[in-house]
C-alpha cells in the first residue's frame, strides 16, 4: 500500500496536468495594491462548468503557500492548499514552479 499522502499528491498533480492545464484558461494579473502577490484567474473552457472560475494567489517571494478560492484549496490541509488549480498555475509558470517542490517534501 502506498503512502496515503503521496497517493493524494500524485492524484492531485495528475488532475492538474491532465484536467486543468489543457481545459482551463489561466490568466495572470499583477494587482497594483499587492506587490508581493500575483493573481491568476483559472476558468474552465467547458460550457457545462460555469461554476469553475477560481482565483489562485501566489506569493511572488515564496513567503507563503499558494491560495485558491475553490473549495478544495481551502478545505484540505493535508496538501497545504495545493489544489489542482494552484498546482496547474505553478506548473505553467517557470517563475513560480519551484514552489511545487513543497509537495514532494511531504512524502
Partner 1 sequence: MARKSGSMESPADDGGLNWNDCKDLVRAMLEAGVSVLVRGHPGVGKSAIASRLALEMDIGLVDIRLAQRDPADIAGVYFPDEGRTQLNLLAPDWVVRAVNEPTLVFLDEINAAVTKLHQAAAYQIVLERRVGPFRFHPRTVVLAAGNLEEDNAIVTPLSSALSNRFAHFRLRVDTKSWVEWGTDNGIDGRILGFISARGSEMLYDNNGDDAFPSPRTWEMASKVIGQVHSEQIRRVLTACVGAAAAAEFDSWLAIYGRVDPSAIVRRGQKVDFSKGDGLEPSFRYAAIFSVSSWVAEQSDLSPKETENLVQFLSSRGLDPEYQFLCLRRLWHLPWLSPRLRATPVFRKLAGGMVAIRKESYMA
Q: Which residues bind partner 1 (CB under 8 A)?
A: 1, 3-5, 10, 13-14, 17, 61-63, 91, 94, 97-102, 104-105
CB of residue 24 to partner 1, shortest distance in Å: 17
Q: How far is the CB of 51 from partner 1 (least distance, A)?
A: 26
Q: Which is nearer to partner 1, 4 or 49 (CB)?
A: 4
Burial (CB count within 10 angstroms: exposed 0-12, middle 13-18, buried 19+), residue 69: middle
Q: Give the CA radius of gyration of the chain.
A: 13
Q: Which is nearer to partner 1, 1 or 51 (CB)?
A: 1
- Contact by Cβ (8 Å): 70, 44: no
For the CB of residue 42, give the shortest distance to partner 1 in the complex, in Å: 18
- Among residues 2 and 48, whose Cβ is nearest to partner 1? 2
Inter-residue contact 71 to 52 (CB < 8 Å):
no
Least distance (Å) between residue 16 CB and partner 1? 9
Amino acid at each position: 500500500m502506498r503512502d496515503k499522502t503521496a497517493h493524494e499528491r500524485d492524484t492531485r498533480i495528475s488532475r492538474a496536468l491532465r484536467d486543468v492545464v489543457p481545459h482551463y484558461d489561466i490568466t495572470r494579473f499583477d494587482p497594483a495594491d499587492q506587490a508581493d502577490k500575483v493573481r491568476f484567474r483559472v476558468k474552465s473552457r467547458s460550457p457545462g462548468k460555469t461554476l469553475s472560475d477560481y482565483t489562485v494567489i501566489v506569493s511572488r517571494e515564496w513567503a507563503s503557500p499558494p491560495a485558491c478560492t475553490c473549495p478544495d484549496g481551502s478545505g484540505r490541509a493535508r496538501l497545504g492548499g495545493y489544489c489542482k488549480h494552484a498546482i496547474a498555475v505553478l506548473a505553467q509558470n517557470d517563475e513560480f514552479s519551484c514552489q511545487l517542490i513543497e509537495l514532494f517534501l511531504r512524502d
